[in-house]
């Protein structure tokens, strides 16, 4: 344990972050913005303006507009119909600042322990048909892809909170966005990973579907950044995760960062009971564990609010495998989300746990956004809190 003087030195080194400067922005795969908006705060300092302009220069074909008196979440797009608005948003890049970027998740009605999370980005360019986020109030109104340029201030807020808590604490990036989808553009990882590496208490947990990990490979991380991939069998990815990196690419990315010593995790969520799911998920679980030495596996089913379900059904029709399984369940759970019936959730979790345990008897396995009854019936109650978003 470092003494007080060492802690203070570590903190001082950690806490002078700035926006990335000496790097070449690269256009990320899976994102083709046709319009870019500079909203309130995005060019408030010379450092921010330079950062934003270098990224804009990569997209000469995009229409660029300044809306410096409008906050990022008040930006109105032309479309009104929900699906067309959503599609326009996925091709709209917004620069802004987010003052309340570090928050404590205090959701009630499921067994998840609460946790800190933060947002240097908002939403993401990928096209998952089941997307939970698309129906949340902030995203529904303005479903654009956002980069918040106040990263240094966000990290200072994390430092303040972590100093107050004075115990190793995870700060999760991935609740309201994808954590790496835009990293080739922003190079934010090159500021965040060293910040957390130096910090005496704050730890980073990130969730992504991206396969772009180049900027992470040579960073000093000291095991303080936990990288987690959202994965599903290729059959599920092909049908339900439009415009995302393939599972093969994600597995390769996971291997690369694991070889660099990062702690790597996987989350299989939402598990989708397609025809023959028993064989499909058994085969994929085996492949995942044989390909990457993950430290933790978290499982979850669909848990969707009504507005996100509405958007999903506009994309896939009401007769899709997810909606049909939700419809055979009892009314919504205490947290207002719709899920598959408990018996089906138990069946899929139990099978995957059995396959995983056969290969890795001591692997940490947990559930995400689940009810107490499921933790107990699957024998995982002792693992509560040893899941994706926590240390």
Nearer CB in complex with ligand SF4: 304/365: 304
158 lies in the binding site for ligand SF4 (CB under 6 A): no
Nearer to ligand SF4 among residue 210 and residue 378 (C-beta)? 210
Pattern 127-146, ligand SF4, x by CB under 6 A: -x--x-x-------------
Report the first-to-last Cα separation within the chain, whole angstroms. Answer: 18
Using CB under 6 A as the binding rule, whether residue 101 contacts ligand SF4 is answered as: no
Residue 267 is a binding residue for ligand SF4 (CB under 6 A)? no
Interacting residues of 172 by C-beta distance below 8 A, sequence separation 6+ = 115, 116, 117, 118, 205, 206, 207, 389
Choose one: 51-59, 92-100, 124-132, 328-336; the region binding ligand SF4 (CB under 6 A).
Answer: 124-132
Place of tokens 């005496």: 200
User: Measured from the CB of residue 84, what is the shortest distance to ligand SF4 in angstroms?
Assistant: 17
* Nearest residue (CB) to ligand SF4, 94 versus 355: 94
Q: Tell me whether residue 133 or residue 264 sits nearer to ligand SF4 (CB atom).
A: 133
Closer residue to ligand SF4, CB minimum distance, 209 or 265:
209
Q: How far is the CB of 107 from ligand SF4 (least distance, A)?
A: 17
Residue numbers 173-192 binding ligand SF4 by CB under 6 A: 178
Q: Is 264 in the site for ligand SF4 (CB under 6 A)?
A: no
User: Nearer Cβ to ligand SF4, position 97 or 178?
Assistant: 178
The binder of ligand SF4 chosen from 115, 126, 171, 188 (CB under 6 A): 126
Say whether residue 209 binds ligand SF4 (CB under 6 A): yes
| Alpha carbon distance 210, 11 (integer Å) | 30
Contact range with ligand SF4 by CB under 6 A, out of 10-18, 79-87, 120-128, 292-300: 120-128
Q: Which chain residues interact with ligand SF4 by CB under 6 A?
A: 124, 126, 128, 131, 133, 178, 209
């Amino acid at each position: 344990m470092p003494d007080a003087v060492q802690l203070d030195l570590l903190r001082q080194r950690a806490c002078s972050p700035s926006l990335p400067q000496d790097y070449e922005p690269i256009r990320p795969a899976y994102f083709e913005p046709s319009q870019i908006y500079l909203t309130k705060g995005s060019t408030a300092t010379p450092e921010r303006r330079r950062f934003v302009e270098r990224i804009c220069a990569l997209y000469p074909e995009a229409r660029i507009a300044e809306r410096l008196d409008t906050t990022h979440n008040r930006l109105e797009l032309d479309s009104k119909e929900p699906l067309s608005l959503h599609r326009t948003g996925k091709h709209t890049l917004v620069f802004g600042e987010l003052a309340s970027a570090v928050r404590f998740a205090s959701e009630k009605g499921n067994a998840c322990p609460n946790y800190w999370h933060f947002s240097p980005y908002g939403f993401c360019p990928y096209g998952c048909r089941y997307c939970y986020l698309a129906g949340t109030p902030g995203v529904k109104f303005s479903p654009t892809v956002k980069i918040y340029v106040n990263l240094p201030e966000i990290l200072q807020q994390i430092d303040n909170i972590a100093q107050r808590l004075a115990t190793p604490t995870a700060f999760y990036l991935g609740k309201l966005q994808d954590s790496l989808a835009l990293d080739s553009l922003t190079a934010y990882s090159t500021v965040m990973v060293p910040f957390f590496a130096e910090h005496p208490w704050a730890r980073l947990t990130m969730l992504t579907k991206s396969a772009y990990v180049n900027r992470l490979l040579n960073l000093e991380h000291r095991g303080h950044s936990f990288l987690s991939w959202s994965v599903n069998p290729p059959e599920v990815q092909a049908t339900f995760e439009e415009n995302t990196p393939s599972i093969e690419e994600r597995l390769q990315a996971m291997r690369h960062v694991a070889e660099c010593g990062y702690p790597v995790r996987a989350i299989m969520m939402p598990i989708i009971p397609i025809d023959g799911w028993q064989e499909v998920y058994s085969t994929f679980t085996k492949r995942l564990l044989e390909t990457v030495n993950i430290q933790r596996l978290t499982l979850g089913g669909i848990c969707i609010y009504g507005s996100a379900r509405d958007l999903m059904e506009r994309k896939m029709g009401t007769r899709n495998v997810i909606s049909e399984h939700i419809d055979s369940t009892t009314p919504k759970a205490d947290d207002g989300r719709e899920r598959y019936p408990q018996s089906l959730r138990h069946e899929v979790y139990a099978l995957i746990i059995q396959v995983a345990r056969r290969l890795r008897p001591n692997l940490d396995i947990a559930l995400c956004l689940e009810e107490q009854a499921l933790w107990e019936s699957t024998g995982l109650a002792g693992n509560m809190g040893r899941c994706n978003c926590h240390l």
